[in-house]
Amino acid sequence: MKKLEIELADRIKGLPPYLFASIDKMKQEAINAGKDIINLGVGDPDLPTPAPIIETLQKAASNPVHHQYPSYVGMLSFRTAVANWYKKRFKVTLDPKTEVLSLIGSKEGVAHLPMALINPGDTALMTDPGYPVYEAGTLFAGGKSVFVPLTIENGFLPDLDAIPDEVADEAKLFFLNYPGNPTAAVANHAFYDKLVAFAHRHNIVICHDAAYSEIYYDNKLPVGFMEVDGAKDVGIELHSLSKTYNMTGWRIGFAVGNSNVVGALGQVKTNIDSGIFQAIQEAGITALEMDDAPLAAIRNTYQERRDVLVSGLQKLGFKVDPPKAAFYVWIPTPAGTSSSDMTSKLLQETAIVTTPGSGFGAGGEGYFRMTLCVSKERLQEAIDRMERAGIRG
């Protein structure tokens, strides 16, 4: 029989290939060719989930109570644990019933939030470079993306004063992410104060993606958006247990903040998914109630890796500063080399998988990203391979 001539939706036609899926494909092709790949492309922690979390899941999974449909918005016990964690970590008080929502990972919240706020033709602001799902979620909702540039001169923070009033007045949503992916930049209280005033002035909902808030170095805690006076009035913050507790495969996160926005996102989820397996939520409670010792050990491991990679890159002539948070190193390419050419060269000549800066937006051109999600020995091997291949900054 003749195959149907299927006409894809315009939203699919206009969607660029998902960056990390493309990287996975390149990596697999190299593996199939017999190469010993050092994968510094995707931010997927290689460290194991802490044992108490796994033990809670094992016990909870055998409880028949958890074998039926879970709560759409999350178990109240899980949302209460989130609120308690926020109080302890950020000194922020949240109502677990109205200001906390469970998510199937923070990525799901990013993708679904525009459906709650954006009508076809509406505008969403987002940083450039930035996480590609901000644009994809906006596209799925029929919205238009306006990119706000991040530059090294401004510490990879958006210059809010440079956004034209007519653009800001039209925007309904602004995606930001600190500690940042891919830049690893951090924000401070002064910036967040200015952001809250900006949101009030232009009537924009802020969505702050804080997935990396617990990966930091030199004992310098990153500031949380919700810590700032008035933040809850203008937006929400998304968190994930993925990076903090090495739980990327578990798919559990949460949104907190403005009750109207949290509620609207919850309405979208109620009609799209059926919530998170409750045994995983029980494990999430254990994670959020853990003391800091396991997390400090994780951070120390990343700091050791950071120092190995950054010092090695600097010896090769790359002008790169040690990141203050997150597990990414954002590296300028050598003069005259595009980001895609750089990543291709590294893969072909050294079997190192990296991410081109251009994959995070036009503002990422001239950079490439490496992750700290392999052992320090493999990071040193990556530096040695680059040196042997004559790849320098």
Among 288, 303, 324, the domain-final residue is 288
pLDDT band at 25 (very low <50, low <70, confident <90, very high): confident
The pLDDT score that the predictor gives to residue 5 is 84
Give the chain's domain count.
Answer: 2
Same structural domain for residues 228 and 368? no
4 in a structural domain: no
212 inside domain: yes
Residues 184, 128 share a domain: yes
User: pLDDT by residue (tens digit) across 96-123?
Assistant: 999 999 999 999 999 999 999 999 999 9
Q: Please tell me whether residues 361 and 225 are part of one structural domain.
A: no
- Asked if the structure places residue 183 within a domain, the reply is yes
Instruction: Kindly state whether residue 3 falls inside one of the protein's structural domains.
Output: no
* Res 81 pLDDT > 90: yes
Domain closes at, from 254, 288, 322:
288
| Same domain? 219 vs 249 | yes
What's the whole-number mean pLDDT along residues 46-52? 97
pLDDT of residue 6: 86
Are 222 and 117 in the same domain? yes
Residues 251 and 116 in one domain: yes
- The pLDDT, as a whole number, for residue 180 is 97
15 and 83 in a common domain: no
pLDDT bucket at 220, cuts 50 / 70 / 90: very high
80 lies in the same domain as 154: yes
Supply the pLDDT for residue 156. Answer: 98
Same domain, 28 and 155: no
pLDDT at position 214 = 97
Q: How confident is the model over 224-235, as a mean pLDDT?
A: 97
**In this model, does residue 24 exceed pLDDT 90?**
no
Checking if the pLDDT of 17 tops 90, the result is no
Query: Does the residue 308 lie in any domain?
Result: yes
Domain encompassing residue 94: 51-288
Which pLDDT value is given to residue 19?
64
The mean pLDDT value for 145-157 works out to: 97
Residue 2 lies in a domain: no
Sheet strands (E) in the chain: 38-39, 100-103, 123-128, 144-149, 171-177, 205-209, 235-240, 253-257, 328-332, 352-353, 355-356, 367-371
- Name the band, by pLDDT with cuts 50, 70 and 90, for residue 52: very high
Q: For residue 255, how many other CB atoms are within 10 A of its CB? A: 28
**pLDDT recorded at residue 18:** 65
| Reported confidence tier of residue 20, pLDDT bands at 50, 70, 90 | low
Residue with token string 């799902």: 133
pLDDT, average across residues 276-288: 98
Percentage of residues of the chain with pLDDT beyond 70? 98
Are 361 and 128 contacting, i.e. CB atoms less than 8 angstroms apart? Answer: yes
CATH number at residue 78: 3.40.640.10
226: DSSP letter: G
Q: What is the pLDDT of residues 343-360, one digit of tens each?
A: 989 998 999 999 999 999
**Predicted local confidence at residue 202, as pLDDT:** 98
Torsion angle defined by CA atoms of residues 374, 376, 379 and 383, in that order, rounded to the nearest 10 degrees: 180
27 and 81 share one domain: no
pLDDT, tens digit, 9 for 90 and up, residues 160-189? 999 999 999 999 999 999 999 999 999 999
Statement to judge: residues 170 and 209 lie in one domain: yes
Buried (b) or exposed (e) across 103-142, using 16+ Cβ within 10 A? bbbbbbbbbbbbbbbbeeebbbbbbbbbbbbbbbbbbbbe
Residues of the chain above pLDDT 90, percent: 90
- The CATH code of the domain that includes 349 is 3.90.1150.10
Among candidate residues 259, 288, 317, the one where a domain is terminated: 288
Distance separating alpha carbons of residues 229 and 47, to the nearest angstrom? 36
Compute the mean pLDDT over every residue in the chain, rounded to the nearest whole number.
95
Q: Does residue 34 belong to any structural domain of this protein?
A: yes
Tell me the CA distances in angstroms from 341 to 3, 106, 290, 354, 368, one per residue in order.
Answer: 39, 31, 44, 11, 10
Instruction: Kindly tell me if the per-residue pLDDT of 299 is higher than 80.
Output: yes
Whether the predicted pLDDT of 1 surpasses 90: no
3-state secondary structure of 53: helix
CA dist., res. 173 & res. 384, Å (int):
45
> Is residue 268 located within the same domain as residue 183?
yes
pTM to 2 decimal places: 0.95
> Is the confidence at residue 11, as pLDDT, over 90?
no
The reply to whether 393 falls in a domain is: no
